[in-house]
Amino acid sequence: MNPDDYFEVIAAELDRYADVPDDVLLEIVTRDGRCMWLVENGEEPEWQGEYLSDRELAARICAGCPVRRECLELEFRTAGDQTVGVWGALCDEDRRAVYPVWLARRQRRGRDGGQVS
Ligand code: SF4
């Protein structure tokens, strides 16, 4: 799969959350997010570490997170593509690649009454 297709797949996976309110997403992510558990237990990693790239950290920590897509949806809604570090299992470079695809899908969805092809 080429990178453009991969980013389209991720954006399409977020369509299912389009009608979920922000506060519900926030509750889900803060309750079930794997990094939240690490923070609570004093095991938060250094997101911009010297030895591991953010992409490697994302793969390690977010890979097992049960709310990866909810986290990414919330991040796009609340922060767009300008934040740094890892959110929703993607490093900032990958989020900046997915964000315009996600945004275009949402705009089409709005025009087409809730459906995106
Ligand atoms: S996807 Fe990553 S950043 Fe988001 S809640 Fe899960 S562990 Fe935290």
For residue 117, the CA-to-ligand 1 centroid distance in Å is 28
More confident: 6 or 1: 6
pLDDT at 81 (0 to 100): 87
Q: Is the CB of 74 under 6 A from ligand 1?
A: no
pLDDT in tens, 20-78: 999 999 999 999 998 887 767 776 666 565 556 767 776 778 888 999 999 999 999 99
For residue 61, the model assigns a pLDDT of 80
Give residue 113's pLDDT.
66
CB 8, CB 45: distance < 8 Å:
no
Alpha-carbon distance 117 to 115, whole Å? 7
Residues 6+ apart with CB under 8 A from 71: 29, 33, 62, 65, 87, 88, 89
Mean local confidence (pLDDT), 2-19: 93
pLDDT at 36: 83
Query: pLDDT digit string (tens) for 95-117?
Result: 999 999 999 999 998 777 666 55
pTM, rounded to two decimals: 0.84
pLDDT at 54: 67
What Rg do the C-alpha atoms of the chain give, in angstroms? 14
Residue with the bigger pLDDT between 4 and 102: it is: 102
Ligand 1 centroid from CA 5, angstroms: 23
Task: Report whether residue 33 contacts ligand 1, using a CB cutoff of 6 Å.
Answer: yes
Residue nearest atom 3 of ligand 1, based on CA coordinates: 87
d(CA 85, CA 92) in angstroms, rounded, equals 6
Atom 6, ligand 1: residue with shortest CA distance: 33
